[in-house]
Structure 1
Amino acid sequence: MKQEVCIRRMWHQHEKNNRKSANMGTSILSPRRHLNRGVMTFVTLLLFATMATLVWNYEGVQRLVKLVPTEGFSIGAKRPTNVLTPNLSKENETSTGSDSLKKEDSAAIPVEIKPLQPLVVDLTILKGAVAKGAVCLDGSPPGYHLHRGNGVNARNWVVFLEEGAWCESEAACQLRARAHLGSSRWMNVRTFEGILSNSEKVNPDFYNWNRVFVRYCDGASFSGNMSLSVKDKGKVLQYRGESIWNAIIDDLIEKKGMKNADKALLGGCSAGGLSSILHCDKFKTALPSANVVKCMSDAGFFVDTKTYKGENKIQAYFKSVVDLQNVTDTLPKYCTEKRNPIECFFPQYLLSQMKTPLFVVNGAYDWWQMDNIVAPDPLGEWDHCKNNASRCTAAQLNIIQGYRQELLDALKPIQESKKHGMFIDGCFHHCQASYDAFWSGQYAPHVNGQTASQALGDWYFERDTKTNSVVDCAFPCNPTCPPKTSGALSVGRPSFRNWSKRG
């Protein structure tokens, strides 16, 4: 009897629990439904983590998301080049890749039907550079990507410096130190395009040269020279851009064979383009046995000019960079002996005394300079004009055209020189050389029937001795400007660091 009572009590308690669960809306899942819910939760978390990673790494987002091309940073790559993934592999002084295997795989395909495959090049970390003080902002070793040349051009070199603006304060440099523009721990593989491409169609003049892409992680155009570490809120910053430059060039010369170079070209985009000007004569000095050494700057000719309100924000900004990272000692002596060191960070004050031939590629309406130098606009008064130049008022157009004239005036030493050259199109964009579409593809601006790629090649190899300067007519005359840039100052990508909006 007692056993029967116990069984009934257990049954009643079971029914009571079931009713309670039903009232609370708790469903009893089968093992399969439990598994499905677990898989869905895992997939959701994975997608969220991926999106968070891409949002944190701006470069990865810009290359992964196929926005309509507006300028060099947002188009071209077939796969993300710097998705924010810490470099956890063992740091070494040599890069290992499958470049030779790719060549063998594609060698049997006829040229006329060969598909254009992205060339992804591994990162070379210079661990030994740390002992020389050549370190990124966070103290990690610097790095570069090298794809070897072949055939008759196996002794020729293109060295290209990465873009990425600057950091003018310890807080700004701390922010950079947490990503690939301040730490090699966050660098990854790189897709080679444009002037770095191994496609003869895309890059006919340099496709089989040794091509090097130097990573930018110092925040001062490879020119910082602070010997002591700087502590900020318990964290240490290193301003060693000049040491990074020396370490990488030394490694290329001594260990990678650049000392045997026959021809060489130093280039760069944006902040890297400015650096290629600042280091141009040093590059020539480092290769005394080379027969031809020249330099090119892509969107790196920043003009010392005032804003539309008459403020000289860019000079104040560059002063902060130069002072913070002790850049003065690394600037060309022929300039600093006669001028304020801040002025010597502007290319226009260096041209007349540069010894090494230089080629400048620049949009006459460089959107970065429009957005940060000419019309920094915290109140939004220029928003309509910046989104579409056809909406600019007559006064705004006058300011824009005035900037173009200031750019051309600053470039007069090149126009008057037989050794220098330039390609100035009438488009609103920023950087061309490291992207297929802008360099020689469907979005490459044409001036007098030439692209910037063709003009550079003619100048470098002295194929056209008539003129080294190609200058476009004023906006809006050029129908070959990239879509949404022929009438837009900056679409799809905000300024890297919109310092004009602070205070």
Structure 2
Amino acid sequence: MGPDDTSDDGDTGDTGDTGENPFAEAVEQGLADHVGTVEPSEVIVDGDTTHYRFDPADGPMCLRGGDYWMSVREGAAADSGDLLIYLQGGGACWSALCSAFESLGAPAVPESGMLNRGLAVNGFSDWNAVYVPYCDGSLFVGDVDIDDDDDGTIDRYHRGLINLSAALDVAVARYPDPQRVVLAGSSAGSYGTLVADMLVRTLWPEAELIVISDSGLGIGKPGDFEFIPGLLDEWDALRLVPASCQDCVTDHITGLPRWQLSRDPRLRFAAISSYDDAIIGGVFLGLGKGEYEQAFTTELAISAAAYPDRFHRFFFPGTLHTTISTDSVNGGGLQGITANYDTTVVQGTSVAQWLEMLILGDPGFGDRID
């Protein structure tokens, strides 16, 4: 079945209630190879937040070899059954362009955006939260070390897959049976969710799964059918794309979520973007005026038409990049570059309100397209 071979309601997955993993094919191709292989080397308890540090000798590390850590923050009701997994953004690094977070600071969960528990409107304020920082430049999928200048010394440690796996190992040990999991990612983290969701489903097979993709919607360079496959191949991640999905990786990778939706009826997507994102469309993809808007609106219209009840869109005018990581109260963003979770509004609804409506099942929830 191709990614668009669906019935009108989009519920054509051949798994879901059978107890089988809808993404077993990706697991067989190596997606879960690092699951259960690493233990934290240090655990730091700080009130309701616990930080887990990993020894680079065990595998997890940042782009230049530095330590990797992740954090868990207890919600107001630790046994609530709701779990938020947040993948941080921070650029990307490959042979032609390297502009990414290369190391991590002191362990902390940022109190901003959807992680800000003090916002007047934030449906996730009392959820258990897993914070997965980003520092290896491979969109959480890399599994390769690269010596760029052939001098015998590694220059780039793309350990995204083992970093993600180590973080999810901690998460599943702490929260083995959530009723609902929201996997949210911003920018690089948003691109990361497009593969990470298959690993999340593998580890939490019974949970409702909602993916929030903020400013990283699977768009590549229109008409360039070598760019995305080349990136994934450089990071040794092309093998993670299910072989049966022949249209998953083209000039975009938007076919992968459609393939996932066709197989997992308990999966939903919420996609958020400005129309002319200057960071994704300009800095990383090098697209001309209007090209990014044309690409993502066309591609995501296909997804929404195929799965109208499970693929949702929030699009707003302008060039700003990301919304869910920053807010107007605690900041956390860059003036003139990032938008805010609580003040980015389309049709009278902010991103924060829209996502709260999503998780509450509000009858007024639906696409917000300006």
Q: Compute the TM-score of the two structures, normalised by the length of structure 1.
A: 0.56
Contact 1:136 1:238 in 2 (8 A): yes
**Deviation of the 1:362 alpha carbon:** 0.8
Asked if 1:207 is matched to 2:207, the reply is no
1:405 matched to 2:315? The reply is no
The separation in 2 between residues aligned to 1:319 and 1:414, in whole angstroms, is 21
Instruction: Tell me the equivalent position of 1:423.
Output: 314
Quote the residue 1:381 is aligned against. none
Counterpart Cα distance in 1 of 2:158 and 2:64: 9
- Report what 1:247 is aligned to: 166
Counterpart selection for 1:164 from 90, 93, 105:
90
Q: CA deviation at 1:92?
A: 4.3
The residue type paired with residue 463 of structure 1 is: D
User: Aligned pair 1:327/2:237, yes or no?
Assistant: yes
- TM-superposed deviation, 1:216: 1.0
Aligned to 1:126: 54
Gaps of 5+ in 1: 1-90, 101-120, 378-398, 473-503
Task: Give the 3-state SS of the residue equivalent to 2:210 in structure 1.
Answer: strand
Seen in structure 2, the aligned counterparts of structure 1 residues 201 and 347 have a Cα distance that, compared at 3 Å, is farther
1:5-58 CA deviation, whole Å, 9 max, x = no partner?
Answer: xxxxxxxxxxxxxxxxxxxxxxxxxxxxxxxxxxxxxxxxxxxxxxxxxxxxxx
Cα deviation code 1:403-448 (max 9, x no counterpart): 423321111233222112111112321001011124444xx22112
Name the residue aligned to 2:257.
351
Please say if residues 297 and 359 of structure 1, whose CA atoms lie closer than 8 Å, have aligned partners that are also in contact.
Answer: yes
**What are structure 2's unaligned runs of at least 5 residues?**
1-39, 262-266, 329-338
Q: CA deviation at 1:320?
A: 4.3
Amino acid at match of 2:129: R
Deviation at 1:279, TM superposition (A): 1.8
Q: CA offset at residue 282 of structure 1?
A: 2.3
CA distance in 1, matches of 2:254, 2:327: 28
For residue 92 of structure 2, give the secondary structure of its aligned residue in structure 1: coil
Over aligned residue pairs, what C-alpha RMSD do you find?
3.0
2:367 aligned residue: 469
Any idea what SS the aligned residue of 2:190 has?
Answer: helix
SS in 2 for 1:410: helix
User: What residue in structure 2 maps to residue 446 of structure 1?
Assistant: 345
Q: Is the 8 A contact 1:274 1:347 kept in 2?
A: no
Higher strand fraction (1 or 2): 2
Q: Which amino acid aligns with 2:135?
A: C
Match of 1:96 among 25, 45, 61: 45
Distance 1:225 1:403, change over 3 A: closer
Cα distance change, pair 304–469 in 1 and its aligned pair in 2 (3 A): same
C-alpha distance 357-281 of structure 1, shift in aligned 2 (>3 A): farther
Amino acid at match of 2:200: F
Counterpart check, 1:182 vs 2:102: yes
Give yes or no for the alignment of 1:303 onto 2:219. Answer: yes
Q: Which residue of 1 aligns with 2:355?
A: 456
Three-state SS of the structure 1 residue aligned to 2:164 is helix
The answer to which structure has the higher helix fraction is 1
Larger radius of gyration between Structure 1 and Structure 2? 1
Residues 145-187 of structure 1, C-alpha deviation per residue, up to 9 Å, x if partnerless?
Answer: 3221122764321111111121112x966x86xxxx2344x55
What corresponds to 1:138 in structure 2? 64
User: Distance in 2 between the 1:440 and 1:221 partners?
Assistant: 22
Q: Distance in 2 between matches of 1:135 and 1:374?
A: 26
The one-letter code sitting in structure 2 at the alignment partner of 1:352 is: R
Counterparts in 2 of 1:234 and 1:375: CA distance versus 1, 3 Å? closer
Given residue 240 of structure 2, which amino acid in structure 1 is its aligned partner?
T
- The residue type paired with residue 110 of structure 2 is T
Q: Aligned partners of 1:217 and 1:403: how far apart in 2? A: 26
- 1:481 alignment counterpart: none
Equivalence for 2:11? none
Q: Distance in 1 between matches of 2:344 and 2:241?
A: 33
Per the alignment, do residues 268 and 207 of structure 1 end up closer, same or farther by CA in structure 2, a change over 3 Å counting? same
Deviation at 1:234, TM superposition (A): 4.5
Partner-residue secondary structure (3-state), 1:243: helix
Higher normalized contact order (CA 8 Å, seq sep 6+, divided by chain length) = 2
- Within 1, Cα distance between the matches of 2:361 and 2:248? 36
Residue 366 of structure 2 is aligned to residue 366 of structure 1: no
Change in Cα spacing, 1:440 to 1:183, as seen in structure 2 (3 Å) is closer
